[in-house]
Chain A
Amino acid sequence: MSIALRGVTKQFGEYAAVENIDLDVPTGALMALLGPSGSGKTTLLRIIGGLETPDQGQVLFDGQDATLWPIGDRKVGFVFQQYALFRHMTVFENVAFGLKVKRRRERPSAPAIRKKVQELLALVQLDWAHDRYPAQLSGGQRQRVALARAMAIGPQVLLLDEPFGALDSQVRHELRRWLRRLHDELHFTSIIVTHDQQEAIEVADTVVVLNRGKIEQVGIPGEIYDLPESAFVHRFLGQVNELPVLLRDGRAYIGPIDISAAAEVQTGSAQNIALIRPHEIEIGQPSSGWPATVVAVRVIGPIVRLDVCADGHSVHEPLEAEISRERFEAERFTIGQRVGVRFRRWQVYPAAA
């Protein structure tokens, strides 16, 4: 089922949680709503699910105006951040809940319910836990029960609100892969809310970056990371170094490096900054680029982080560069060593952004 939002706005008192959102979610997509807290991503999810009503705008399910449909009618599976498992019911009863409360005409027989629940529990690999209580399960296990429960009603859309936020990083990693596989097998339309850009990039087909109630950018993970459309997205999607861009004699400079003709860095603003990712910085011989001094070296698994202080640039803000382990082994950079800094890629934005 496809979902579309048209001009959706929601205010809480004076505060606009989401403003004039237009969004299309194609059938079968796994879309991530990514943003910092307060960006409106959870509010948007709840509006789609029917837990909030927008003040303005429409929510369309397969082209039909579902804005005022009650939650029960929307057939969406909702998984809350804190799982909201019914603590006084067993795992089995939790998963069976949606089936047991159906109207008499639609309610399956008891054996049919049992069969369905067992299927679902097997799918989430928790069939052994059917008579346990939520308090007896780990966080990752509870999360899977919550998912099985949501799937029991046969939804066409799955809405997940920061589903892995409360879990250890190892468990999170495993569950992300598992969720992606499940999604590919069962072809839901899924929307997942997260503040973790790593998670969004790993799991989703499409990422929607939200900031302060508005959409900053929509695109596939690679695009968002490599071709950010605004400084906010650029900063949010990973580490960045920020350097002012200076205009001299018709050309643009970052430090002593000529980056292009000034005409090519038109942003419409007088003050500009360049955002450069750590792995887009090249470290070489002192004569090969902007002279700098290495002030810190940190070996982190497969990469090595070098903090370098470029001449003329504030000593309190060293540049963070990342090079491969192999490169580091070859060059053996040390603290105090003089090097030359070059930029492979950069993007320029107005300074106010």
Chain B
Amino acid sequence: MATTASVALKRRKTRHVLPGFGLTLGYTMVYLSLLVLIPLSAVFIRSVGSGWGHFWEVVTAPRVLASLRLSFGASLVAASINVVFGLIVSWVLVRYTFPFKRFIDGMVDLPFALPTAVAGIALTALYAPNGWLGVWLAPLGLNVAFTPVGIVVALTFIGLPFVVRTLQPVLEELDKEVEQAAASLGASPLQAFCRVIFPALWPALLTGFALAFARAIGEYGSVIFIAGNMPMRSEIAPLLIVSKLEQYDYAGATAIAVVMLVLSFAIMFGINALQNWASSRHGER
């Protein structure tokens, strides 16, 4: 039987059973610091270094404001388009079968895989007045290429996979039986959608929207070919940063960059908070 002698020692430090913690975490932190943290901090240090007054002056200059408005506005519109059509696309991909579905499903990732410059020139070729789509739209008075509309088109392309790929797993996990239960209780398809399906979907929709939006505001390569790049009209913020860099106006460039970074980080933070809230709201996990 057990004896009653007990040896009480001081509380020990946690020891890891699996080896390699120090090595891997250390390497990870060093890599991140050198490659990411330190260079990123250069942006903030440089812009703050020129003083708040200068910073404010740069950021509120009309050309800068116009470019920021354009970048944010076009991104908002593009992300919204992606929400609507992304919902339709993911719905169709998850729920229905049709020929070549797997091929089309794979193609949704094209904007992830295709280099942005290639996308840029391809879209320009399509929507230019003599392009495949441009010839149809020009007589209708719709000029896409070299206008803000073209920017929205390019940004829609870029953000397309974000909404679809965020929605698909949620749709796939939706228990068919829950809908059937709703139907057996007398709900019409529209009611079932609004009351049963949509509540499960909207956090994913919002996440997809935020991801597409965040990606779009910083987008460069696919936009600059189709954009027209006229200051005050069709010049996106990243392009303005490049212009300032070429003129060695580091203070100006970093100021705009700071604004964009702060917004991007805020969006990322928001997405995290949203996901945490969504996964815990019904006591799951």
Contact = CB atoms under 8 A, between A and B. Distances in A.
Nearest to A219: B1
Contact of B7 (A7, A23, A70): A7
B17 A51 contact: yes
A292 to B, nearest CB: 41
A57 B12 CA distance: 10
Contacts of B6: 6-7, 20, 22, 57
B7 A57 contact: yes
A57 B9 contact: yes
Contacts of A51: 17
A71 B2 contact: no
A7 B2 contact: no
Interface residues of A, number: 20
A53 B5 contact: no
Which of A23, A51, A56, A68 neighbours the largest number of chain B CB atoms within 10 Å of its CB? Answer: A56
Given A50-B17, A71-B17, A55 B11 contact: yes
A52 B14 CA distance: 9
A68 to B, nearest CB: 7
A215 interface: yes
Interface in A169-219: 215, 218
Given A50-B17, A51-B17, A68-B15, A56 B9 contact: yes
B3 interface: yes
Contacts of B11: 55-56
B2 A53 contact: no
- Grouping DSSP codes into helix (H, G, I), strand (E, B) and loop, the B interface class, with mixed when no group exceeds half, is loop
B28 interface: no
Interface in A34-56: 50-56
Contacts of B3: 22, 24
B8 A7 contact: yes
Contacts of A6: 5-7
B76 to A, nearest CB: 43
A23 B2 contact: yes
Contacts of A7: 6-8
A23 to B, nearest CB: 5
A215 B2 CA distance: 10
Nearest to B15: A53
A53 B114 CA distance: 50
A152 B95 CA distance: 51
A58 interface: yes
B22 to A, nearest CB: 15
Interface in A201-256: 215, 218
A345 B3 CA distance: 31
Nearest to B10: A56
17 contacts: A7-B7, A22-B5, A22-B6, A23-B2, A24-B3, A50-B17, A51-B17, A53-B14, A53-B15, A56-B8, A56-B12, A57-B7, A58-B7, A58-B9, A71-B17, A218-B1, A218-B2
Interface of A: 6-7, 20, 22-24, 50-58, 68, 70-71, 215, 218
